[in-house]
Amino acid sequence: MKSFNGYRTLSKALESNENEETIKILIIMIANNTQREQTPQKSN
């Protein structure tokens, strides 16, 4: 899974009390990756 690294990075950031902005950015990046993977590709 491509987004697995994102989750691992996020949990490390939470453990080390990373600042809120960094965590927000990580969550947005993971969400974007997840959406892209789940979207079926249309061939026109």
pLDDT for residue 9: 81
pLDDT per residue rounded down to tens, the chain (44 residues): 455 577 788 888 888 887 889 888 888 888 888 776 666 666 66
8 within some domain? yes
pLDDT for residue 44: 63
20 within some domain? yes
23 within some domain? yes
42 within some domain? no
User: What is this structure's pTM?
Assistant: 0.52
> Is residue 27 within 8 Å of residue 7, measured between CB atoms?
no
44 within some domain? no
pLDDT for residue 4: 58
Crossing angle of helices 20-38 and 4-15, rounded to 10°? 160
Tally the domains of the chain: 1
Domain that holds residue 13: 4-37
